[in-house]
Amino acid sequence: MSTTLRNALEWISGTPLRVTIILLSAILTQAFGSRAIDRAMNRLATADLVPGPRNIVARQKERARTIGGVLSSTLKSVVWVVAAAMAMGELGFNLGPIIASAGILGVALGLGAQTLVRDILSGIFMLVEDQYGVGDEVNVLEVTGVVEKVGLRVTCVRDGAGTLWYLRNGEILKVGNQSQSG
């Protein structure tokens, strides 16, 4: 084998191969994780969690779909942030300053982006308290329509005229939900 070919194979089996393995691992982790979340949410949607006459199966399915969407997007974010950091490390970037900057950025976000933190905390409590879910007909912030997506920061509601409204969760102070019955 020639020296040039041997050098090329050594180079390819080094950093490019490791970065490719990181990216493939991220893709597989996201695919299997999303599939596991979907299966768990389907199982949760069909489980009989509230036995007896007050069994609200449709509401349970909507809530499972909403939680599944939030878990899938969280998984996707975490997997790709970790994969990007690992790939940067393989390419020779010093991650120490980046991690230190992330700590400083965290403090700055805590102080400067209070509305973002408020939106995310409100979104978490809305999901936990089951105030509304995907498919519910709601009246919120002068908008009446059907909830299409619930995220940790933003809720998307489509009104009767077909307009899709993006509502920040921290701004939602009261919600009227016509889909939930007493």
Q: What's 118's domain CATH number?
A: 2.30.30.60
DSSP, collapsed to helix, strand or coil, labels residue 45 as helix
Domain region containing 171: 96-182
The whole-angstrom distance between residue 123's C-alpha and the CA centroid of its chain comes to 12
Give the pLDDT score at 166.
Answer: 94
- pLDDT (tens, 9 = 90+) of the chain, 182 residues, equals 678 777 777 777 778 888 999 999 999 999 999 999 999 888 877 776 655 555 566 667 777 777 888 888 889 999 999 999 899 888 888 888 878 887 787 777 677 778 877 888 888 888 777 788 888 899 988 899 999 988 888 999 999 999 999 999 888 888 888 877 65
State the total domains in the chain: 2
Would you say 43 and 81 are in contact if contact means Cβ atoms under 8 Å apart?
no
Whether 117 and 74 map to the same domain: the answer is no
Whether 83 and 114 map to the same domain: the answer is no
Give the pLDDT score at 64.
Answer: 78
Q: Token pair 């878990």 is at which residue?
A: 71
**Spatial separation of the C-alpha atoms in residues 68 and 168, rounded to whole Å:** 20
Closest CA to 156 of 178, 131, 135: 135
Element (H, E) at 90: helix 57-90
Whether 103 and 182 map to the same domain: the answer is yes
CATH code where residue 47 lies:
1.10.287
**Spatial separation of the C-alpha atoms in residues 145 and 160, rounded to whole Å:** 6
Whether 33 and 105 map to the same domain: the answer is no
Whether 79 and 102 map to the same domain: the answer is no
Structure tokens at 24: 């493939």
Whether 43 and 119 map to the same domain: the answer is no
